[in-house]
Structure 1
Amino acid sequence: MSSPQPPRPDRKPLIALVERAHRALQSDMVRRAQADGHTEVKMAHNSVFGFLHAGGARAADMATRAGITRQSMGEVIRDMVALGLLEMRADPNDGRAKVVDYSEHGTAVAADGFRYLFELDRRLEQEFGVEQYAVVRDVLDRLPEVLERYAAEEAQTSSPAGGRVG
């Protein structure tokens, strides 16, 4: 006897659309870096390029922002250090910790990436139109806050002290 099938949506769920777009954008960034002569850049490096800001950061903080484990972030960082994209130095606030920062070469690679992001933004705006592209960007920007609000509302209504009067 087979188990009943769960109900299926009649269109692709938003999460599937966002994930597909995310993968396409990540792949496009690597493709462009390699086309620009940065053949050492790999897909995994996006987790660092997307979360390492000027002045450096601790690996654990970047892992949290990227939503990956510290071990995974550490592995990517070690690879990028070996490739000459990153450098590590002692954290001035914690002698046990290290701060990761771009090497001179890594800064050049990241700068090329940011230049491409500006170009891609302009091209996508032309492709979809200024208004439609602005709506997409606004929805994606607001989505995390909306989901956090929904979660808070659910937590409030499902908790015993959630404000419901019996």
Structure 2
Amino acid sequence: MTGRPSEERPLRRAVCPGSFDPITLGHLDIVARAAQLYDVVHIAVMVNKSKQGLFTVDERIALIEESLSDHGNIKVESFHGLLVDYCRQRDIPAIVKGLRAVSDFDYELQMAQMNNGLTGVETLFMPTNPAYSFLSSSLVKEVAAWGGDVSHLVPEPVLRELRRKLARP
């Protein structure tokens, strides 16, 4: 870059991938922090046809968009396939992953090394806010299914839809 006003710097882009079934406050914390570091953050709702989620992919996308409506630099879409293909198709050089515990690191490091070996994409690990270190979408669904209070674990749109989907007749 020469610093001339006519030359624009390329956008710094990253992706936060996951199933987000549903998105939690822990996910939102990682995405919001990534949005401060990158010009554009893609949220890739990864589709796994072998898993039946509580929310459809379209519902997840809508909940994420509603939950992050105050961020102007986030794009949400679904993807079926390898994450590195998603990155290559959109010219995204970085993956942002939140780590809750050392056990997350073991698995995520292997994935990061594989992704880098396949295409050169880098992975940035962010430590989770300690307030969310125990939090997972699976636990949220289980607690909510048994009538437990998850209002402090998910954004309001997710809470509303969890209550609707899990309402007992």
- As a proportion of its length, which structure holds more strand? 2
TM surpasses 0.5? no
- As a proportion of its length, which structure holds more helix? 1
User: Structure 1 length normalisation: TM-score?
Assistant: 0.29
